């Protein structure tokens, strides 16, 4: 064995920068906005008008294309996902034991409704 010293010179295989790979860096890229409209496909003119009404009602933006070829499939999954998105659930705060009851009786919560 020789008397050479080995010095660490950094990582031999540099990792990819996380900004370019893997993470969603465009968090502001909200689908359905003017800059990033939804891309929808429908099968008839009547259906296009229905979907346009849904998009306008939800205050979104979309590029709707009609595909009336044989075996065409409607593709509006992006829109249905945005429309069915649930809002934040807020619960009313329960009063503390010694706080006055919220029913208006004037008693403490623990003696009335608690």
Q: Quick: pLDDT tens for 50-95.
A: 999 989 888 888 999 888 888 888 888 888 888 888 778 887 788 7
Q: What percent of the chain has pLDDT over 90?
A: 5
The Cα 114–Cα 97 span in angstroms is 7
pLDDT of 110 over the 60 cut: yes
Confidence of residue 49 (pLDDT cuts 50, 70, 90): very high
Residue-level pLDDT at 10: 66
The Cα 44–Cα 85 span in angstroms is 26
- Kind and range of the H or E run holding 56: helix 45-57
Please tell me the pTM assigned to this model: 0.50
Residue 11 phi/psi, 5-degree rounding, is -70, 135
């Amino acid at each position: 064995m020789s008397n050479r010293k080995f010095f660490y010179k950094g990582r031999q295989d540099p990792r990819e920068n996380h900004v370019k790979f893997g993470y969603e860096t465009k968090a502001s890229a909200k689908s359905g906005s003017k800059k990033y409209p939804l891309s929808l496909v429908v099968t008839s003119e009547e259906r296009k008008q229905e979907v346009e009404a849904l998009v306008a009602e939800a205050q979104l933006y979309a590029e709707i294309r009609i595909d009336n070829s044989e075996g065409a499939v409607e593709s509006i999954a992006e829109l249905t996902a945005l429309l069915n998105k649930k809002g934040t659930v807020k619960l009313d705060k329960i009063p503390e034991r010694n706080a006055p009851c919220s029913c208006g009786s004037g008693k403490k919560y623990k003696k009335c409704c608690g």
